[in-house]
A = this chain, B = another copy of it.
Amino acid sequence: MESRPLDDERLTLMGLLHETWASLAARGAAQLACHGVAPAELDVCLRLARSPEGLLRMTDLAAQTTLTSSGITRVVDRLVERGWVTRRSCATDRRTTYAVITDTGRDLLAAVLPGQIALIQDWLIEPLTATGALGEFETALRAIRDHTAPCAVAGADGVGLLEPGPGPAVPAQAVARS
């Protein structure tokens, strides 16, 4: 009967989630490194490529990723340097800047995504289907996501990210650490 918080099983579950994510992320990052791209950079390119005209405001990119507005500025800086993305100013509102994916950027995605998908297939999908838990897993993730980040939809600008939810209000972009 170990009831010390030290051995609380909830802490263990969280640790398992951490370990699982870290392991998968590391494999993906390692493969990307062979192409000279970082995970956050690919993430930005992917979101741009999926957008209507291959473009998104800096602010929206920040809202859609785990990065701050400042972080997006630097990631886009790097992507521009490598020719995968271009910056374009907005005609109607001169405060906003668009990040636009280039053809070279799309080529990068075409070159890199198949490998990433294969990795996900082998290390995430495979073990899940083998145990018949794939459907349940996705359902669980959505349950958690919907509970913590109700409206994480594009189009709805940064709104709703700092909901004064039921629990202790999170310092918003509190993603910060110390």
- Which A residues form the contact surface with B (CB < 8 A)? 5-8, 10-11, 13-14, 16-34, 36-39, 46, 49-50, 66, 109-110, 113-128, 130-131, 133, 136-149, 152, 165-168, 170-171, 174-178
Q: Is the CB of A18 within 8 A of B21?
A: yes
**Chain B hits for A5, CB < 8 A:** 109-110, 113-114, 117
**Chain B hits for A118, CB < 8 A:** 166-167
Judged by DSSP, the binding face of A is: helix
Q: Which of B16, B22, B29, B30 contacts A141 (CB 8 A)?
A: B16
Q: Give bound CA distance, A168 to B120, whole Å.
A: 12
**Chain B hits for A32, CB < 8 A:** 177-178
Q: Is the CB of A120 within 8 A of B11?
A: yes
Q: Is the CB of A31 within 8 A of B167?
A: yes
Q: Is the CB of B145 within 8 A of A20?
A: yes
Q: Is the CB of B149 within 8 A of A127?
A: no
How distant is A69 from chain B, measured CB to nearest CB, in Å?
16
Q: Is the CB of A49 within 8 A of B6?
A: yes
How distant is A149 from chain B, measured CB to nearest CB, in Å?
6
* Additional A-B contacts beyond A20-B145, A131-B139 (18; CB < 8 A): A5-B114, A5-B117, A6-B49, A10-B117, A10-B124, A11-B117, A19-B178, A22-B175, A26-B174, A29-B178, A30-B170, A30-B174, A32-B178, A33-B177, A33-B178, A39-B177, A115-B167, A128-B143
Q: Which of B8, B21, B168 contacts A17 (CB 8 A)?
A: B21
